[in-house]
Amino acid sequence: MDYRNVLTTCIYCGAGCSLYLQVLDGKVVGVLPAKQHPISEGRLCIKGWNAHAFIHHEDRLTRPLIRDNGAFREASWDEALTLIADRLREVRATHGPDAIGFLTSAKCTNEENYLLQKFARVVIGTNNVDHCARL
Amino acid sequence: MAGLAAAFGSGAMTNSIPELEEADCILVTGSNTTEAHPLVATRILRAVEKGARLIVVDPRDIQIARFATLHLRQRPGSDVAWLNGMMNVIINEGLEDKEFIAGRTEGFEELKAAVAEYTPERVETITGIPADELRQTARIYAGAESAAIVYAMGITQHTTGVDNVLSCANLAMLTGNVGRPSTGVNPLRGQNNVQGACDMGALPNVYPGYQSVASPEIRQKFERAWGSTSDLKAGLTVTEMIDAAGDGRLRALYVMAENPMLSDPDINHARECLKQIDFLVVQDVFLSETAELAHVVLPGVSFAEKDGTFTATDRRVQLVRKAIEPLGEARPDWEIICDLAKQLTDHASRITHHAPRGWDYSHPSEIMAEIAALTPIYGGISYERLEAGEALQWPVPSPDHPGTPYLHKGQFSRGKGRFHAVSFKEPAELPDEEFPLMLTTGRIMFHFHTGTMTRRSEKLEQEVSEAYVEISAQDANALGIGKSERVRIVSRRGEIEARAWVTRRVPPGVVFIPFHFAEAAANALTHAALDPVAKIPEYKVCAIRVERIA
Ligand code: SF4
């Protein structure tokens, strides 16, 4: 049996409480509050206490999906990424970089947001990059 | 964001969450704090325990209002009017901070002229707030040693959202409540890393750190670092992208962990537009409503399966740590982007003229090092410091800088603070005979944004599992609607069904629907009219009617 507590940050609101994920044999089984954190001070709200609950949900996507004749089929990463690269290249060549847009996410990390806007600006050459929560 | 940046030179929360506890007066407006930001609400209630006066301005009888000295219930969409009214009283009674105005601001005369006509009596006719209560509120706020304004989407989600924010900034400057602890203008971000997404340049008009895409020097700096970059013209915002998808200007859309189908105003319109697009890629943990329309779906991972950082609403940069391995073949979003970038920039099929540079990272800490090198406000942030437990709030200009708990000390980011004369404008859509009620939408405690995660969390889903509409007893009686009856809600754009909750939480004439539920998406009803500057859709106010399902 392998049990660990991993200190991380809550994903449910901008208050940014710290919490521990309780990990048992490679599965997240619960959440504990962090005493030393300036916002949470050892407490969490109901969303924070349940921050782990969706992680192992059966609906999680675990393989790339490609639409074929209207329906999704599972695909390898290689096939999916090659298809995306080909199509983006094609759209860019025919319609120009500004025919492509990117939506980044307030749910993703800073590093991921940074990389996707860098991708839009460097690889495609467009400023069409935004996130869904201007709010 | 746009409003605060114009007034102060920086669009972020000016102060820190813990500081709220020491404020003498807290003005909360457009924020259902106890439900949307529970641990921020805790600080506010602690301040009240220590004797602070709490003023809540909100049409709904939300929980935090029970702790308030005064609760003003304005007509939805009339915020500029009551804010101008408060300033009218403050100036007429000589309660403004003359020294602060003279030393640190510009544009005061224009502001004074603009608010002169907003007497409490006139404001009462626009907003429904009794003139005397407005006077009391103005005196309490202006009389406090340190007064903080706290707002959320109830202020920004209007066609006049920028005007609303500018008015909050005006009020704070007028009374010298900026640049000191426990004061300021404090927007609470809805989703956990909205602040970080903005900081990282996930915006069509700025590079990371709010560096303008229109500046040739800035462009040069990024071109040097990256090998190439986009041109000087700002790109499209999310709502503009969706429209452009509808009329063929946008041919491909790449969506990372977002569900614009549910979170956009007027989702029927959004669905029609997204269906037009030649190529839609969605990278997410679940098959969201948007992913269902995609041509390719890539499995991303949850926050438990990757390392990285989030930036909290008070500019606090914090670590996210990997706790488990990715499930199945899912991969962290940062790795996916790098792989795709390498595919598109390899020699055989390169689509840019410049050498591919900088897509080899072995860990997110290396990405942060690049961010720090290019982003002055993050200049001193590193995983080393974060791992050592330092609490870092930007700006952190250098590795030996301790971070900045409150902004604009001694000087605004833009030099002088700028007053903006703003006048009241009616919301884009007002009730009429056919659609006699005003709809306002928002969050509830147990769910998070479009619910793709929370609705798959058993305990949270049990708490509130069905969409509902809050309606006043007066309106319910007039329509013959019983307690918990299922009703139809109709706007010019669509209709949904939900269960009626007859309650005093909303005043007569107003109904409220939370927007987390895909099967009764409130955004099927709302209005895509945009604030002309911030391009924030008007979620908060639109005209509807409620019908019995016969
Ligand atoms: S625990 Fe609650 S208050 Fe704290 S960050 Fe999470 S959702 Fe927000």
Q: How far apart are CA B205 and CA B221, in angstroms?
A: 16
Instruction: Say whether B428 sits in a helix, a strand or coil.
Output: coil
In chain A, the residue whose alpha carbon lies closest to the alpha carbon of B340 is A81
Ligand 1 nearest atom to the CA of residue B37, by list position: 3
B458 vs A58: which has the higher pLDDT: A58
Q: How far apart are CA B548 and CA B550, in angstroms?
A: 6
Strand partners of residue A27: A24
Structure tokens, B325: 């391995």
Give every CB contact of residue A39 below 8 A, 6+ residues apart in sequence.
Answer: A15, A16, A17, A18, B17, B18, B39, B312, B316
pLDDT digits (tens, 9 = 90+) for A65-104: 999 988 999 999 999 999 999 999 999 999 999 999 999 9
Ligand 1 nearest atom to the CA of residue A19, by list position: 1
How remote is the CA of residue B446 from the centroid of ligand 1, in Å?
11
Q: Which is it for the CA torsion B105, B107, B110, B111, positive or negative?
A: negative
Instruction: Say whether B212 sits in a helix, a strand or coil.
Output: strand
Whether A12 and A23 share a structural domain:
yes
Whether A74 and A110 share a structural domain:
no
pLDDT reported for residue B527: 59
State whether residue B116 sits within 8 Å of chain A by CB.
no
Using a CB-CB cut-off of 8 Å, the residues of chain B touching A72 are 297
pLDDT reported for residue B544: 83
Phi, psi of B180 (to 5 degrees): -130, 160
pLDDT reported for residue B462: 55
Whether A109 and A127 share a structural domain:
yes
Ligand 1 nearest atom to the CA of residue A44, by list position: 1
| In a domain? residue A117 | yes
**A124: DSSP letter:** I
Residue with tokens 């920086």: B10
Give every CB contact of residue B127 below 8 A, 6+ residues apart in sequence.
Answer: B74, B75, B78, B81, B82, B85
Provide the residue range defining the domain that includes A125.
97-135
Ligand 1 nearest atom to the CA of residue A45, by list position: 2
| Number of separate helices (H) and strands (E) present in chain A | 3, 7
Residue nearest to atom 1 of ligand 1 (CA): A48
pLDDT digits (tens, 9 = 90+) for A14-47: 899 999 999 999 999 999 999 888 888 888 988 8
Whether A7 and A45 share a structural domain:
yes
* Amino acid identity for residue B521 in this structure: A
Whether A72 and A88 share a structural domain:
yes
pLDDT reported for residue B511: 86
Instruction: Find the residues whose C-beta lies inside 6 A of ligand 1.
Output: A 10, 12-13, 15-17, 40, 44-45, 47-48; B 37-39
Strand partners of residue B252: A100, B279
Whether A31 and A68 share a structural domain:
no
| In a domain? residue A16 | yes
| Number of separate helices (H) and strands (E) present in chain B | 20, 21
| In a domain? residue A132 | yes
Instruction: Say whether A27 sits in a helix, a strand or coil.
Output: strand
pLDDT reported for residue A36: 86
The C-alpha torsion from B523 through B526 and B528 to B532, rounded to 10°, is -120
Per the CB < 8 Å rule, is A117 touching B17? no
**Order of strands, sheet of B308-311, starting from the edge strand that comes earlier in the sequence:** B308-311, B316-320, B392-393
Per the CB < 8 Å rule, is A77 touching B331? yes
Pairing type for strands B417-418 and B105-106 reads parallel
| In a domain? residue A56 | no
Whether A101 and A132 share a structural domain:
yes
Please identify among residues 439-468 of chain B the ones whose CB lies closer than 8 Å to any CB of chain A. 445-446, 448-449, 453-454, 456-460, 463
| Cα A93 from chain centroid (whole Å) | 29
Structure tokens, A88: 């983006």
In chain A, the residue whose alpha carbon lies closest to the alpha carbon of B294 is A67
State whether residue B227 sits within 8 Å of chain A by CB.
yes
Reference B247, options B276, B204, B280, B278; nearest CA is B276
Phi, psi of B468 (to 5 degrees): -145, 165
Using a CB-CB cut-off of 8 Å, the residues of chain B touching A35 are none
| In a domain? residue A106 | yes
Q: Which residues of chain B have pLDDT under 70?
A: 1-2, 158-159, 262-266, 346-357, 442-466, 515-541
| In a domain? residue A40 | yes
The count of domains in chain A is 3
Give every CB contact of residue A112 below 8 A, 6+ residues apart in sequence.
Answer: A104, A105, B256, B308, B332, B333, B334, B337
Whether A111 and A125 share a structural domain:
yes
Using a CB-CB cut-off of 8 Å, the residues of chain B touching A122 are 226-229, 341, 352
pLDDT reported for residue B351: 44
Whether A113 and A90 share a structural domain:
no
State whether residue B65 sits within 8 Å of chain A by CB.
no
Whether A91 and A101 share a structural domain:
no
Whether A78 and A89 share a structural domain:
yes
Candidates A6, A38, A108; nearest CB to B257 = A108
Candidates A39, A61, A110; nearest CB to B310 = A110
Residue with tokens 């971070």: B403
Q: How many Cα atoms sit within 13 Å of B291 on the Cβ side?
A: 21
Q: Are residues B319 and A9 in contact, defined by beta-carbon separation less than 8 angstroms? A: yes
Per the CB < 8 Å rule, is B456 touching A59? yes
Q: How far apart are CA A16 and CA B39, in angstroms?
A: 9
Q: Is residue A49 over pLDDT 70?
A: yes
In chain B, the residue whose alpha carbon lies closest to the alpha carbon of A8 is B320
Other C-beta atoms closer than 10 Å to the C-beta of B105 total 21
pLDDT reported for residue B350: 43
Per the CB < 8 Å rule, is B204 touching A130? yes
Other C-beta atoms closer than 10 Å to the C-beta of B290 total 27
Pairing type for strands A27-33 and A65-68 reads unpaired
How remote is the CA of residue B447 from the centroid of ligand 1, in Å?
11
Structure tokens, B545: 């009617």
| In a domain? residue A67 | yes
- Output the pTM of the full model: 0.85
Per the CB < 8 Å rule, is A110 touching B198? no
pLDDT reported for residue B403: 95
Per the CB < 8 Å rule, is B202 touching A104? yes
| In a domain? residue A86 | yes
Domains of chain B and CATH, by start: 5-188 (3.40.228.10), 194-393 (3.40.50.740), 437-548 (2.40.40.20)
Whether A115 and A80 share a structural domain:
no
pLDDT reported for residue A73: 97
Alpha-carbon distance B295 to nearest alpha carbon in chain A (angstroms):
5
